[in-house]
Structure 1
Amino acid sequence: MSKIAVLVTDFVEDIEYTSPVEALEKAGNDITVIEFEAGKTVEGKHGTKIKVDKAISDVKPEDFDGLLIPGGFSPDQLRDDEKMVDFVKSFLLASKPTFAICHGPQLFIQTGLTKGRKMTAYNTVRPDLYYAGAEVEDKAVVVDNNLVTSRTPDDLDQFNAAIVDTLK
């Protein structure tokens, strides 16, 4: 069993949170939802209520084996916070399993660690990744060592399979 951190805030794309979390839990992984404030409830774009387990100020990257960043409007808000960016940066630097879908890869741009990494994302995010030095591919799932990225909810079956497989 792996311990997986999930970074979210309000306006996350509901299915990009619920579907991967369900797949990860079904595979026996332990999920910790992290936001700015522990104990609060964030709301997805379509009304899903998500209880926050821990505040970003109360966790360390070394407490987790992997990281999930769902899309929606959440990643754009999270990337404005230095603690969130540093948390993500730690996973990339340590080559820990790191998963992001749709707008999730926006957080990678803030880390300065996209250069030369193979990635995909939502079509409006792909140019940003490219200009940040990533090798961008328009595929359902792109796996670059322990970094797994995906484009949209349409790709969730492939994304979920890839993230579960990466943790084996």
Structure 2
Amino acid sequence: MKLKGQRVLMFIDNIFEDMELLYPYYRLLEEGAEVVVAGPEEDTVYIGKNGYPFRSNAAIAAQKASDFDFLVVAGGFAPDKLRRDPKVLELTRDIHDAGKVVAHICHGGWIPISAGIMKGFTCTSTPGIKDDLINAGATWVDKEVVVDRNQVSSRKPDDLPAFCRAIIELAAR
């Protein structure tokens, strides 16, 4: 259990990418992490873009960055809505600025973009937000997983095994 005693924050809202939330959620639990899945409302069922329901166990507004060891941002279309929440951006920025791991996959990169933390980082994502990342000052590459300092990024659900291995390796250091 490489992550025993660590707390991880994940964000959720409707139209999240089902696999990109569920796969890391269960992998991190397997490694001993406590996973807090925070949505706009606590104890609320959100529906993924493929129809899977998932219940938040916390409200975003009640979270403090100092309570977490790292952040994992799933893709789908939820990040486009979530990045409009100043608290989401504050949490993302504060976790990043503390040197803690910030991991994002697919469209999840929209949140770090809006948080203003991508400048000077090399990353990957779905090609759909490649230009957004480049315009935010990142260097975009087409790889299954990219680790640059405290950031981990991946492109799509097929990359989830490599994405989770990289998160666990970096967070366990």
TM-score normalised over the length of structure 1: 0.97
Quote the offset at 1:108 in angstroms: 1.0
Match of 2:169 in 1: 165
Matched AA of 2:121: R
Q: Report 1:1-168 matches (<5 A).
A: 1=4, 2-168=6-172
Q: Deviations over 1:81-124 (max 9, x none)?
A: 11111111111111111111000011111112211011111001
Gaps (5+ residues) in structure 2? none
Output one character per residue of 1:32-89: Cα deviation in whole Å (capped at 9) or x when no partner: 1101111111111112111111111111010111111000011101001111111111
Aligned length, in residue pairs: 168
What residue identity is the alignment partner of 2:140? V
CA distance in 2, matches of 1:63, 1:10: 25
Q: 2:118 is paired with a residue of what secondary structure?
A: coil
Q: What is the CA–CA distance in structure 1 between the aligned matches of 2:132 and 2:160, rounded to whole Å?
A: 22
Partner amino acid, structure 2, of 1:33: V
- CA deviation digits over 1:105-151, x for unaligned, max 9? 11111112211011111001111100110011111001011210000
Q: Quote how far apart the aligned CAs of 1:8 are.
A: 1.2
One-letter identity of the residue aligned with 1:4: V
Rounded to whole Å, the distance in 1 between the matches of 2:35 and 2:8 is 5
Unaligned runs of 5+ in 1: none
Q: Indicate the RMSD between aligned Cα atoms, in angstroms.
A: 0.9
State, as a whole percentage, how many aligned pairs show the same letter.
36
Aligned residue identity for 1:100 = H
Alignment partners' CA distance in 2, 1:116 and 1:105: 14
Ranges of 4+ aligned residues in structure 1 off by more than 2 Å? none
